[in-house]
Structure 1
Amino acid sequence: MNLLVLGGTGPTGRLVVGLALEHGDRVTVLVRDPARLGDLARRVTVRTGDATSPRDVTAATAGQDAVISALGTGKSLIPHGLAARAAAAVIAAAGENGVSRLVWLSAFGVGETVAQASGSQKLMFRTLLRSVYADKEIADARIRSSGLDWTVVHPTRLTDGPARGTYRAGERLPMKGNPTISRADVAAFLHRAVHDGEWIRRPAVISD
């Protein structure tokens, strides 16, 4: 598969790129600073550009079979409209180049998934993460209404632990406390989802 990865220099995106290469995908990564790819730069096609730029994303999407976005704001709680602007750029680029498959990393607590949250989760979503989640909600809504073969993935709180392979996945999951899931398991789900049809046009909540 010819696969474009957005957010490929981030902690989850790098894992997605590594998995894709291991499974024989031909990977293109759109990055602002190619140096941040390190050794991966020799194994992928590097496109320098901005994931919020329709022109840059359109150029990177040409010839691709699918797109995985693992974009995030890192530790910053100031979103600057990143998710919403990137979603608009990806949707336009996919339409321009005839790419229909999109797997998009969101977060648990965004949009309708907040109804499934525990009390402690809701408190965090409505205070500390309020601005970031508002931006993600706009992005998710744009993707769901895009007409693409989308999957929007909503992981619970991310950790840097190893992949367990025993995580739960569903459109709805019961929550207690503040559950977690490793970035490695999230990356595995993103990569698996782009290759099969189980989650096309469905949101996926995933958690340990």
Structure 2
Amino acid sequence: MKLLVIGASKGIGLETVRYALGRGHEVRAFARSADRIAIDDAKLDKRTGDARNAAEVGPAVDGVDAVIVALGLPKTLPAMMQKTTLFSDTTRVLLSAMKAAGVQRLLAVTGFGAGESRTKMSTVEKLGFNALLARAYADKTAQEGLIRASGLDWTIVRPGILTSTAPSHAYDVNVEPETWHNGLISRGDVAHFLVHAAEDGSYLRDAPVLTR
């Protein structure tokens, strides 16, 4: 496959690039700092750009089989606490570009606490969530709404608490709301899920919660 990974220079995005290349896919890695991705591979196309810029996103989408969105905010207290529209703004631009290019398959990472999964948080979890992440996740919820209304073949992926531990490739994919709960999950395991779901077209129009 030819995969576009948006947010490819760090975290889940970078792990997705690595794993997809290891699976033999062509990868178009899109990020502000894509040129600094320390991977040399003939099947890797590094595209430096702003995911909110339609003139840069359009060419990146053209000709790919699937798009994987793994955007994140800087891991700083001010970035996490301030209001953002990064996720919804990026999604609006991307959906328009995908429709123009005829690309149907979209996988987007949000997180446990976005959309209706927030109702499954415990009282203690909600206290910390409301203090630190509520503003960012309000925009992730808006992002999910845009994706659901898009008419594309989408999968929304909601990982629990992310870790940098080695991927186990053994994790829970909780689809039904009664099974949703928070927990740890490595970034590498999220990448594993994304690439395999892109390959086999599974979890169409589902929004699973991933945990160990």
Q: How much has 1:155 moved relative to structure 2?
A: 0.6
Matches of 1:48 and 1:35, distance apart in 2: 6
1:17 corresponds in structure 2 to 17
1:122 corresponds in structure 2 to 126
Matches of 1:21 and 1:62, distance apart in 2: 19
Q: How much has 1:126 moved relative to structure 2?
A: 1.9
Q: How much has 1:80 moved relative to structure 2?
A: 2.9
1:71 corresponds in structure 2 to 71
1:170 corresponds in structure 2 to 174
Q: How much has 1:135 moved relative to structure 2?
A: 1.0
The AA in structure 1 aligned to 2:143 is: A
CA 1:32–1:42 in structure 2 vs 1: closer, same or farther (change >3 Å)?
farther
2:47 corresponds in structure 1 to 47
Q: Deviations over 1:75-111 (max 9, x none)?
A: 1313531101111111001000000000000010111
Matches of 2:91 and 2:166, distance apart in 1: 29
| Local SS of the residue matching 2:207 | strand
The AA in structure 2 aligned to 1:12 is: I
Q: How much has 1:120 moved relative to structure 2?
A: 2.2
Pairs within 5 Å for 1:182-193: 182-193=186-197
The AA in structure 1 aligned to 2:67 is: V
Pairs within 5 Å for 1:14-163: 14-40=14-40, 43-75=43-75, 76-77=79-80, 78=82, 80-163=84-167
Q: TM-score under structure 2 normalisation?
A: 0.91
Is the Cα–Cα contact under 8 Å of residues 88 and 140 in structure 2 kept in the other structure? yes
Is the Cα–Cα contact under 8 Å of residues 180 and 209 in structure 2 kept in the other structure? no
Matches of 2:170 and 2:207, distance apart in 1: 19
Q: Structure 1: 5+ residue runs without aligned partners?
A: none
Q: How much has 1:42 moved relative to structure 2?
A: 5.9
| Local SS of the residue matching 1:150 | strand
Matches of 1:107 and 1:50, distance apart in 2: 22
| Local SS of the residue matching 1:73 | coil
Is the Cα–Cα contact under 8 Å of residues 35 and 47 in structure 2 kept in the other structure? no
1:203 corresponds, among 184, 204, 207, to 207
Is the Cα–Cα contact under 8 Å of residues 17 and 27 in structure 1 kept in the other structure? yes
Q: TM-score under structure 1 normalisation?
A: 0.93
Q: Deviations over 1:113-166 (max 9, x none)?
A: 011222222222222101110111111110111001000000111011111222
| Local SS of the residue matching 2:106 | strand
Q: How much has 1:194 moved relative to structure 2?
A: 1.1
CA 1:71–1:56 in structure 2 vs 1: closer, same or farther (change >3 Å)?
same
Is the Cα–Cα contact under 8 Å of residues 156 and 208 in structure 2 kept in the other structure? yes
Matches of 2:188 and 2:128, distance apart in 1: 23
| Local SS of the residue matching 1:58 | helix
Matches of 2:15 and 2:22, distance apart in 1: 11
The AA in structure 1 aligned to 2:38 is: G
Q: Structure 2: 5+ residue runs without aligned partners?
A: none
Q: Which range moves more in the overlay, 27-36 or 59-68?
A: 27-36
* Residues paired across the two proteins, number: 206
CA 1:204–1:174 in structure 2 vs 1: closer, same or farther (change >3 Å)?
closer
